[in-house]
A and B are shown apart, each in its own frame.
Chain A
């Protein structure tokens, strides 16, 4: 695998051989189903999320084709409603979050100088659940049973008397199923970043990307229960006749919205914050400077994570709540733009103080700033209640959140893909192809979504499958549709670029960009054990720090080589002092079996095959018991000096 590693001083050839042996996985189909390597799992997350992105993107093209002209009949209203629901649901739940989890899985251990995630088997389990839940939801589309109520699935339209069929059962069960993956992934990130950092990486030396991932992981842990509760109640309403959201039975329809947005608004920041983390990671290499105002950025990440839980009502400004609550939530929604502004100005300052190297990742970062600032400005407009009441649920809001999510998440992700492609695949991408991809996606994005600000102001509501020609919306809609094809072409070129790199790309050196964080001190692609020696960190930019470079090689001591087993190092939470070495689990079938049993369980619940569901639940319980059964080998202490 390795292309560049040479034997480092302080690490013997036999150490390397032992490391390779301990961390090796059998070269067979078996390894494919049992691997717990965070790099492979991270790659799978990236590829699978990209696959769902393509499906959701094709849905978007169908929508734009339908809306190109007034009263066209490309799809029926029933089909359109399923397609726009799947587009939103998949983009948020099956693409954005998993894609960032993919980056996180691949990069967090490498950036903090660890050999794996804290819970590698849980990590593998999380991936399988994500894959199965995604397929579970998409599989409903060919049957005409896909969710059809918008990704927000408001009550009481989600109730069985208004929405018969399996549509919303697929939604409720699919998201509950997927939530298992997201939650386990989030817990894994938190523990990994707190306990597995290389010695010396105190909290003030943690890369901003890792800060962002950890903050979002905390947000997932606190936000997702609201969505899970919502979906559990929805399923009980639909299947077992409870009345949580049915006003005729004493239920409250706004309860759905409150719980949904208590999750949903933090979720927007979950997506954007981690993507902003990518920007902070990419910038130093192309500005030849560490991102300035590190402490302010960390503060702003933490502030966003906290304030985001106090702004959900701004999605409900048109529901007629009391004015006092409007004023409070308007203030909170206004305030949250400030930490985002701090980050923007920190990056601008970084660029102004550094020297720009205009490669494709930096182009995407610049595209991100232009687009995200526009999306942020309209976002601040939505915090003003009176204005929100005029444009919410119109195409203006569609324009706004695509500026935020494409500008603030997809562009950073694309920057990240080009930036880390050499590390992930060991191959360099084609610069020319990358530039074409950038200009097409950038132009396509703005041609598609800028006119939507206008159609929204002109009174076009969102989520309509067609419109009559007389309101005068047709011209701008046609422009949007043309733009969407440009955007799709640009994204296709990204895909072509990745395939081209894999097939034809020249081999990547360990550090093609002179990046500042630890992943660049590993081979491209990294060895299964990541680091021959667990590095010792002396600064915020370890890969630029000569002392770190020395400590990864010459200063190697036995406890940091750890070649006597599949081990990595535990350190203390705040200042990353060495605590002890821990054994990491071998590859295992259990994650796949558990995820598979859950798939059977959820499918059986969907189809009301309750006896099958009971059997599947028993298999789930048995697998968990087998998984958690204490290991036979004694837990030997290594006697590492702290």
Chain B
């Protein structure tokens, strides 16, 4: 659990601090922005989220100014206008019109203009030959495929640093929403339709994403990870996604593979290059190298993997995988095999 926490939090530590002359005023926000580990929209690492972060600070300061104005008027009334004398005459229509409608209108028009500019920027997708990743939402995990690679992976998206990557979103069942706070605002996955967004990471790192649209029992455990890495690493990774899974090297791994292919696992899961070609659950060809089990439900280590296989319903109640009748003496080999798939 600890290792996962550290790897995810690493980009947050190197975040860009928000520029400001009066950090005291938003102390809690700043502190919180610095707290390591958050997939925080306030420490953007991508072009899209960076724009929205700029927009946020504009909105924040405008709001602070308006709020301060209202509080000052209220405080003035509370301090200087106490008593019981009856005074009622004169309608300050001009004050109400200017302070309540005129000023806000000017501010809002300006903010609206900036907002439109940023919206247009978010809408400008990548060029034609940009890498494309196809993400399909399932209850409750993410299927990830790349144009030009035969294989699939789950809950983990690799992208080259500094390049705009097209993300094509579909859902297999209900609505989901694709959200990586540090990289890009969210976009819903609409049943029966295809939507497109893009990701561009300005620096390498691992960025947590999560389903943001309520999608049923396990909406809470539908996270994913975006891994931004240098182009060469990305290409190597993509090549592995196109190749058969790593073959067993030890006796234990071979026994594990046998259990996997001949047991119930193969009915739902695929391991490329073996007889296991199930389409219901995630492709497990690189299961051993993934950051988590169950779309962020638990860390990917031997203990959690064993518990997941035996009865994933205790870990993630309601998920599609029933408890597996794997013999206790075969389970260690199965775990060894799955962990060897990188």
A327 to B83, CA, bound (A): 48
Chain A residues within an 8 Å CB radius of B297: 468
Do A338 and B108 touch (CB < 8 A)? yes
Encode B182-224 as 1/0 by CB contact (under 8 A) with A. 1001111011110100000000000010111111111111010
Most buried by A among B29, B123, B181, B297: B181
- Return the CB mask of B116-146 against A: 1 if under 8 Å, else 0: 1011111100000000000000010000000
Given known A-B contacts A323-B123, A352-B81, A366-B74, A293 and B217 have beta carbons under 8 A apart: no
Is the beta-carbon distance between B317 and A76 smaller than 8 angstroms? yes
B73 within 8 A of A: yes
Interface residue from B42, B190, B219 paired with A458 (Cβ < 8 Å): B42
Partner of B86, one of A253, A355, A370: A355
Chain A residues, Cβ within 8 Å of B100: 296, 338, 341-346
Q: A386-B185, A461-B210 are in contact. Are A154 and B175 (CB under 8 A)?
A: yes
B-chain residues with CB within 8 Å of residue A28 when the two chains form the complex:
none
Q: List chain A residues, Cβ under 8 A from B121.
A: 386
In the complex, residue of chain A having the shortest beta-carbon distance to the beta carbon of B121: A386
CB distance from A459 to the nearest CB of B (A): 4
CB-based nearest B residue for A254: B190
- The answer to whether residues A247 and B191 also contact, given A288-B84, A323-B120, A390-B186 and a CB cut-off of 8 A, is yes
List the B side residues contacting A461 at CB < 8 Å.
179, 210-212, 219
Chain A hits for B67, CB < 8 A = 373-374, 377
A319 and B120 CA atoms in complex are apart in Å by 16
Q: Which residue of B lies closest to A249 (CB)?
A: B192
Bound CA span A392–B178, Å: 12
* A348 to B96 CA separation, bound complex (whole angstroms): 9
Residues on the B chain within 8 Å of A341, using CB: 100-101, 104
Question: B41 contacts the other chain (Cβ, under 8 Å)?
Answer: yes
B288 at the interface (CB under 8 A from A): no
Pair A358/B82 contact, Cβ less than 8 Å? yes
Residues of A within 8 A of B181 (CB): 390, 394, 457-459
Residue numbers in A under 8 Å from B74 (CB-CB): 348, 351, 366, 369-370
What interface size band does chain A fall in? 35 or more
Expressed in whole angstroms, the Cα–Cα distance for A473 and B32 within the complex equals 10
B71's closest neighbor in chain A, by CB?
A370
Query: Which residues does chain B contribute within 8 Å of A355, judged by CB atoms?
Result: 81-87
User: Is there contact, CB below 8 Å, between A319 and B190?
Assistant: yes
The interface bits of chain A over 81-101 (1 if a CB of B lies within 8 angstroms of the residue's CB, else 0) are 100000000000000000000
> Of the candidates A150, A349, A468, which one forms a contact with B92 in the assembled complex, judged by CB atoms under 8 Å apart?
A349
Say yes or no for A156: interface residue by CB 8 A criterion.
yes
Q: Given A366-B74, A390-B181, do A327 and B119 touch, yes or no (CB 8 Å)?
A: yes
CA gap between A81 and B215 in the complex, in Å = 11
Query: By the criterion CB–CB under 8 Å, are A472 and B96 in contact?
Result: no
Which residue of chain B is the closest to A387 with respect to CB atoms? Answer: B55
Are the C-beta atoms of A354 and B122 separated by less than 8 Å? Answer: no
Nearest-neighbor residue (CB-CB) of B107 within chain A: A380
> A476: nearest residue on chain B (CB-CB)?
B32
Q: Which residues of B contact A326 (CB under 8 A)?
A: 119
Q: A386-B115, A459-B41, A472-B36 are in contact. Are A289 and B88 (CB under 8 A)?
A: yes
In the bound assembly, the distance between CA atoms of A346 and B99 in angstroms comes to 9
B53-98 with Cβ < 8 A to chain A = 55-56, 59, 63, 66-67, 70-71, 73-74, 76-78, 81-88, 90-93, 95-97
Cβ of A288 and Cβ of B86 under 8 Å apart?
yes
A253 to B110, CA, bound (A): 35
A575 at the interface (CB under 8 A from B): no
Task: Identify which of B36, B77, B210 contacts A351 (C-beta below 8 A).
Answer: B77
Contact with B along A428-469 (1 / 0, CB 8 A): 000000000000000000000000001001110111111111
B112 touching A384 by the CB < 8 A rule? yes
| A387 CA / B317 CA spacing, docked (Å) | 34
Closest approach, in angstroms, between the C-beta of A422 and any C-beta of chain B? 18
Q: Of A254, A293, A384, A392, which is within 8 A of B91 by CB?
A: A293
Separation of A366 and B78 alpha carbons in the complex (Å):
10
Contact indicator per residue, chain A 307-329, by CB within 8 Å of chain B (1) or not (0): 00000000000111001001100
Q: Are A352 and B63 in contact (CB under 8 A)?
A: no
Q: Which one, B40, B105, B214, contacts A154 given CB within 8 A? A: B214
Residue B52, interface by CB 8 Å: yes
* A interface, CB within 8 angstroms of B: 76-78, 81, 149-150, 154-157, 162-163, 247-248, 252-254, 288-290, 292-294, 296, 318-320, 323, 326-327, 330-331, 334-335, 337-339, 341-346, 348-349, 351-358, 366, 369-370, 373-374, 377-378, 380-381, 383-387, 389-394, 454, 457-459, 461-473, 475-476
Can you name 15 A-B pairs with beta carbons within 8 Å? A292-B93, A296-B93, A296-B100, A319-B190, A320-B195, A327-B119, A330-B119, A334-B108, A354-B81, A386-B115, A387-B59, A393-B186, A458-B181, A471-B208, A473-B38
Residues of chain B having any CB pair with chain A under 8 Å: 1, 4-5, 8-9, 28-29, 32-33, 35-42, 49, 51-52, 55-56, 59, 63, 66-67, 70-71, 73-74, 76-78, 81-88, 90-93, 95-97, 99-101, 104-105, 108, 111-112, 114-116, 118-123, 139, 173-175, 177, 179, 181-182, 185-188, 190-193, 195, 208, 210-221, 223, 296-297, 317-318
The 9 A-B pairs with the shortest beta carbon distances in the complex, nearest first, are: A247-B192, A345-B100, A389-B185, A472-B37, A384-B115, A464-B220, A459-B39, A351-B77, A458-B38
Extra inter-chain contacts (8) besides given A320-B190, A380-B108, CB under 8 Å = A78-B318, A356-B77, A357-B83, A457-B29, A457-B33, A457-B41, A459-B38, A471-B39
